């Protein structure tokens, strides 16, 4: 049904069962044409390509992203090569102030490494809430919010190490009383995987995600939504953040009026072309995130039924990190007894051409619409 869109990646990996779609998703065939389009536009337009990219390609991609997220201000979507660039620019708005940050112990390394290092250097006060037990996370996180007046709150829509969904985004956001508190939602494992509606919180949160995983455009194109009328101005800034006023030759620094005031400097837009091609493919063929999510849920159900049958000593439901099979991210995480056993099981599967990945003691199986409906290993 969907395999026809991925013929080149599937042909290059014939005989393999690819269960790392949550890490490096296969790219649809349209991404190859998109890369050639970028080359041809560069050859055709040369220096004038920037006006075309920023005036045509970027707005078109912003609109496609906004439609997926039900975000009403596409011009308030800012692009960068990675999410680290985006959130560090926002953090730079505090300048030399020592700030207080609330987060979880299940945030991806690009954020957790940065804030843990800043905490070690005594640059910030950091409070970390454990994600487990997962069934009480929402309430525990909101309780911590009420205890302190935080400058920054950062949490994931879907935890990268378990695929547990934080399903009550609105309630958490609404529990933050201080309007000056900056709220980040890391949506990298949610965007194009889990149906997401930002309409009720779009003017309160910075939602960050990118093309590498379920958006299927590969590495190099991340984005951040910015609240309407947001007063935050970054200290770390690149020349793209003042692009709209570039030729006025002002003697003082100005910033773009839209979300691009958080932009950096020159970047390779090949990944944005790929992302645009994927989102347009799905839009043109009326493939919604709801449809994708339902198909993946079916794959996961079939997978769990299969492991019930084979009775693997470690890949079984007792080791599965899951709350609700109908409200779960696009990978299954199995907690192994040790890191060594996790590596052994991963190697055992690899010998059978079953591709998985791991994080410490967690073995992960990712699912995507180009996979067979029933596994065999």
**Phi, psi angle pair for 325, to nearest 5°:** -65, -20
Cite the residue boundaries of each domain of the chain with CATH code 3.90.1150.10. 3-29+287-366
Q: What is the pLDDT of residue 249?
A: 65
Q: What is the pLDDT of residue 101?
A: 98
CATH topology classification for 31-283: 3.40.640
CA dihedral 4, 211, 39, 31 (to 10 degrees): 0
Q: Is the pLDDT of residue 69 over 90?
A: yes
User: Tens of pLDDT along 246-268?
Assistant: 666 667 888 988 999 999 999 99
Q: Is the pLDDT of residue 124 over 90?
A: yes
> What DSSP assignment string belongs to 107-146?
--HHHHHHHHHHHHTTSEEEEEE---SGGGHHHHHHHHHH
Q: Is the pLDDT of residue 210 over 70?
A: yes
pTM: 0.96
Helix (H, G, I), strand (E, B) or coil at 172: helix
Helix (H, G, I), strand (E, B) or coil at 313: coil
Q: What is the pLDDT of residue 374?
A: 87
Mean pLDDT of 74-93: 97
Residue that the structure tokens 């010998």 belong to: 351
Q: What is the pLDDT of residue 243?
A: 76
Q: Is the pLDDT of residue 297 over 70?
A: yes
User: Tens of pLDDT along 27-37?
Assistant: 999 999 999 99
> What DSSP assignment string belongs to 218-250?
-TT-EEEE--TT-----SS--GGGGGGGGGG--
Question: By the 8 A CB rule, do 58 and 275 touch?
Answer: no
Mean pLDDT of 66-94: 97
Question: By the 8 A CB rule, do 144 and 128 touch?
Answer: no
Mean pLDDT of 336-359: 97
CATH topology classification for 3-29+287-366: 3.90.1150
Q: What is the pLDDT of residue 86?
A: 97
Mean pLDDT taken over the chain? 96
Nearest-angstrom CA–CA distance, 356 and 377:
12
Cite the residue boundaries of each domain of the chain with CATH code 3.40.640.10. 31-283
Q: What is the pLDDT of residue 173?
A: 98
Handedness of CA 324, 326, 329, 331 (dihedral sign): positive
Mean pLDDT of 288-298: 97
Mean pLDDT of 260-286: 97
Q: What is the pLDDT of residue 242?
A: 87
Handedness of CA 71, 74, 78, 82 (dihedral sign): positive
- Residue of 375, 361, 302 lying closest to 333 (CA atoms): 361
Q: What is the pLDDT of residue 376?
A: 84
* Of 59-73, 113-127, 153-167, 243-257, minimum mean pLDDT range: 243-257
Q: What is the pLDDT of residue 326?
A: 85
């Amino acid at each position: 049904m969907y395999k026809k869109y991925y013929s080149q990646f599937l042909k290059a990996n014939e005989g393999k069962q690819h269960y790392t779609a949550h890490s490096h998703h296969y790219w649809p065939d349209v991404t190859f044409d998109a890369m050639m389009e970028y080359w041809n536009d560069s050859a055709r337009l040369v220096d004038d390509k920037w006006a075309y990219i920023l005036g045509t390609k970027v707005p078109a991609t912003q609109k496609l992203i906004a439609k997926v997220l039900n975000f009403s201000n596409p011009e308030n979507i800012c692009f960068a090569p990675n999410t680290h660039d985006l959130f560090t620019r926002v953090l730079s708005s505090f300048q030399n102030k020592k700030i207080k940050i609330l987060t979880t112990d299940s945030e991806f390394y690009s954020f957790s490494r940065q804030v843990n290092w800043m905490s070690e250097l005594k640059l910030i006060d950091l409070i970390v809430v454990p994600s487990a037990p997962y069934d009480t996370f929402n309430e525990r996180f909101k309780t911590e919010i009420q205890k302190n007046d935080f400058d920054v709150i950062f949490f994931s829509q879907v935890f990268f190490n378990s695929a547990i969904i934080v399903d009550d985004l609105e309630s958490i956001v609404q529990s933050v009383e201080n309007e000056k508190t900056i709220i980040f939602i890391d949506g990298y494992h949610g965007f194009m995987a889990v149906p997401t509606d930002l309409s009720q919180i779009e003017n309160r949160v910075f939602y960050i995600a990118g093309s590498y995983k379920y958006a299927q455009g590969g590495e190099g194109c991340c984005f951040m939504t910015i609240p309407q009328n947001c007063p935050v101005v970054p200290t770390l800034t690149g020349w793209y953040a003042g692009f709209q006023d570039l030729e006025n030759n002002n003697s003082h620094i100005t910033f773009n009026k839209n979300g691009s005031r958080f932009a950096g400097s020159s970047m390779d837009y090949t990944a944005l072309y790929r992302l645009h091609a994927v989102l347009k493919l799905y839009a043109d063929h009326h493939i919604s995130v709801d449809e994708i999510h339902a198909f993946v849920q079916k794959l996961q159900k079939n997978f769990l039924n299969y492991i019930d049958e084979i009775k693997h000593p470690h890949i079984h439901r007792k080791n599965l990190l899951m709350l609700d099979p109908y409200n779960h991210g696009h990978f299954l995480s199995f907690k192994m007894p040790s890191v060594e056993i996790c590596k052994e099981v991963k190697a055992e599967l690899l010998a059978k051409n079953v591709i998985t990945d791991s994080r410490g003691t967690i073995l992960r199986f990712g699912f995507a619409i180009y996979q067979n409906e029933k596994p065999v290993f």
